[in-house]
Amino acid sequence: MEMNAPRVVLSSVGSDSGKTLVAAAVISILRGKGYKVQPFKIGPDYIDTMYHTAAAGRASRNIDSWIMGEECVRKAFANGMRGADMAIIEGVRGLYEGASPIEDAGSTVHVAKILKAPVVIVLNSQSLTRTAAACILGMRAMDREVRIEGVILNKVSDERHEAKLRQAISYYTGLPVLGVLFRDPSLRIEKRHLGLMTAHENSEAATVISKAAATLERTLEAERLIEIMADTPPIAVPDPEECTDARVRVGVFTDRAFSFHYPDNYECLERAGFEVRRVDSIADGTLGDVSGLLIGGGYPEVFANELEANNALRQEVRKRASEGMPIVGECGGLMYLCRCIRTNGSCNRMAGVFDSEVVMHDRPQGLSYTLLGCIKGNAIADAGDRLRGHEFHYSSVDNLRETEFAFEVLRGKGIGMGREGITAWNALAMYTHMHYLAAPKVVDKLKRACEGYSRQ
């Protein structure tokens, strides 16, 4: 089927251009005009999407061409656009950065071409004038298939600086400057080791977004931007999938400690016949009546004291694992399923499904796309399967002498020694994050495992 959807990609020359704040501000402005705006984030990112969601009042979605492939990108876009009027798509890093220095896969430009979407450059203008035009000319020359249709200037010093930038960009590129954000120390989102502070932890997030939107709205040519978004051809997308009646209940940790989740993953589970039960790892004392458990990523090291204090839940998770209940932990979930987390000399007990220690470090221990080859059948894969995902972690796992691994690492770091995915009973813990829309067999295999457990 074909769909028409006004859309635009907000990209940049590189990271730290202010794309997330500008995207949230644009979303807020358009929402204030009565539009239902669907946000998307290109690349595997859980945190930027939280700010989009706060601005839009709709869950932001991730799309990544390396993990998903082209058809799946279009499917994810179509799923997200249900009930929306238009899409704001924030890019990842610079326009051309991806999995390879010479190919499109995984890059913002690849998604823009798959979705036939125009691009607006968010330009970090600090200390630039004429070079701003050179940056835009270079990005346009790199790939003529990409439609760069305008610029939003960020971190502009003052009105004199703005005038010089406008003159240079107009003279050399002919592109319109669609809006301006002046440099303001209060217009910033705090960072920490995995990126920006999560929106639900940052009490100032709503204030910063609101202020950025109010400031940008003074200069934003909103109607011109909407015209650019509307001037897009239809794209072919897969037909929508029907939902299967829910028959299997699965628990999912969703709280302050475990906040990294893809909305598409919930929908894939529900379409496959899962009923999702949300569990608070800090406040809930029991998992309830579930036949499986998913623990995603987040910041368990930040909330380690609270997680340790919930002894009842930790003990139940270990007991259910020993009984054969399927449990899948990703990154933060891996950390929770191990015996303890060591951070700056302190040690906090976790569930102890795996007799290993997690140690936090000051530098990233894994930051990459991952490609895994299954060497031992488990709750989500059969031997011989290949899975694509991503990892971003500052921790490592110690005491792995007698551990069984589910995967060999064909790309990325994994847990170590070229291996990923430790197993015990029917539990699996790995650093790799999965996007279920790109791996439908994972959901089917998990469902069969949960059904098998529920029949015991």
pLDDT tens-digit profile of 144-174?
999 999 999 999 999 999 999 999 999 999 9
Is 80 a residue whose pLDDT tops 60? yes
> Are 122 and 153 found together in one domain?
yes
Please give the mean pLDDT across all residues of the chain: 93
Q: Does residue 339 sit within a domain?
A: yes
- Residue 273 forms part of a structural domain: yes
In terms of DSSP bridges, do strands 427-430 and 419-424 run parallel, antiparallel, or are they unpaired? antiparallel
CA distance 426 to 450: 10
Q: What's residue 241's pLDDT?
A: 76
User: Would you state the pLDDT for residue 40?
Assistant: 98
Is the pLDDT confidence value at 49 over 60?
yes
In 327-378, where do the E strands start and end?
327-330, 338-343, 346-349, 354-360, 366-374
pLDDT at 16: 86
227 shares its domain with 257: no
Return the closest-CA partner of residue 9 out of 150, 167, 183. 150
| Predicted pLDDT at 247 | 85
Q: What's the pLDDT score for residue 437?
A: 94
Q: What is the mean pLDDT of residues 203-214?
A: 86
Same domain? 362 vs 426: yes
Average pLDDT over residues 359-363: 94
Which amino acid is present at 18? Answer: G
**Residue 51, pLDDT above cutoff 60:** yes
pLDDT in the model for residue 223: 97
User: Is-contact 116 2, C-beta < 8 A?
Assistant: no
In a domain, 243, yes or no: no
Per DSSP, helices labelled H in 323-417 are 332-337
Per-residue model confidence (pLDDT) at position 82: 94
Q: Is the pLDDT of residue 268 over 50?
A: yes
Q: 318 and 211: one domain?
A: no
In a domain, 188, yes or no: yes
- Cβ-based neighbour number of residue 308 at 10 Å: 15
Question: Do 71 and 163 fall within a single domain?
Answer: yes
Looking at residue 193, its pLDDT comes to 46
Distance CA 336, CA 353 (A): 9
What is residue 202's predicted lDDT score, i.e. its pLDDT?
52
Write out the E strands in 56-145: 61-63, 86-90, 119-124
Q: Report if residue 242 sits inside a domain.
A: no
Q: What is the DSSP letter of 144?
A: T
Residues 215-243 have pLDDT tens digits of 999 999 999 999 999 999 999 988 877 77
Residues 204 and 260 in one domain: no
Domain annotation covers residue 241: no
Tokens of 127: 């200390």
Average pLDDT of span 50-69: 95
Cα 447 from Cα 451, distance rounded (Å): 6
The confidence score (pLDDT) of residue 203 equals: 57
pLDDT at 154: 96
To which H or E segment does residue 341 belong? Answer: strand 338-343
pLDDT at 407 over 60: yes
Range of the domain at 442: 248-454
Domain end: 207, 236, 265, which one? 236
Residues 282 and 211 grouped into a single domain: no
Enzyme catalytic residues: 331
Q: 229 and 340 share a domain?
A: no
- Residue 402 CA, chain-centre distance (Å), reads 33
- Tell me the per-residue pLDDT of 430-439, one tens digit each, with 9 for 90 and over: 999 999 999 9
Is residue 405 a part of any domain in this protein? Answer: yes
Domain boundary among 210, 236, 262: 236
Higher model confidence: residue 244 or residue 71?
A: 71
- Residue at 54 is within a domain: yes
Question: Which of 236, 258, 292 finishes a domain?
Answer: 236
Instruction: Clarify whether residues 207 and 154 are in a common domain.
Output: yes
Banded pLDDT at 198 (limits 50, 70, 90): low
Percentage of the chain exceeding pLDDT 70: 96
Pair (232, 375) in one structural domain: no
Indicate the SS3 state at residue 275: strand
Q: How many domains does the chain have?
A: 2
Q: What is the CATH number of the domain that holds 337?
A: 3.40.50.880
- Work out the burial of residue 80: count CB atoms within 10 Å of its CB; fewer than 13 is exposed, 13-18 middle, 19 or more buried: buried
Pairing of strands 86-90, 191-192: unpaired
